[in-house]
Structure 1
Amino acid sequence: MQIDVQHIAGPGLVVLDITAADEDTLRAVMDGLQQQWATSGITPIRRLPGEPGIRARVYADVHRPGPAE
């Protein structure tokens, strides 16, 4: 999957590709990230044939805080 330059066009913008053993772990990580920073939230989960684990891609702005608790 290609990373669009627009997603990393400025300081503090990151693209995180996350791999986990199971869906619950992957969703917990994405939720934790969105609590810390402004992110694309819980994104679609994908499996790659022949590769272990499940994956998701999250876009984040580490200069902007996540939602207030």
Structure 2
Amino acid sequence: MDPMNEMHVSRPGLLVVDVAAADDATALAFEQLLSERWATATAERTTREAGQSGVRLRCYLDLRQPNVRAGTPR
């Protein structure tokens, strides 16, 4: 994965989440769970690294902003 940009974690409550999973469906399901709770810049697709098993996905979360469609997180 590419290095993180300091802008993505410049304030408390901002997160960069790197996911390693066995397959696309698992990685994207996890990302969906996150996006149902918080404002999330989601990834459109996973990536694969040559010679490595599984897939990777990176998304960005703002814990200060609950997802207004889903209501306030519990």
TM-align CA RMSD: 1.2
Unaligned runs of 5+ in 1: none
Instruction: Count the aligned residue pairs.
Output: 69
Task: Give the structure 2 partner of residue 19 of structure 1.
Answer: 20
TM-score (normalizing by structure 1): 0.90
Question: Is the helix fraction higher in 1 or 2?
Answer: 1
Q: State the Cα distance separating 1:3 from its structure 2 match.
A: 0.5
The alignment's TM-score, normalised by the length of structure 2, stands at: 0.85
Counterpart code for 1:11 = P
Deviation track 1:6-63 (CA, whole Å, cap 9, x = no partner) reads: 0000000010100111111111101100001111124331000111110010110011
Identity %: 33
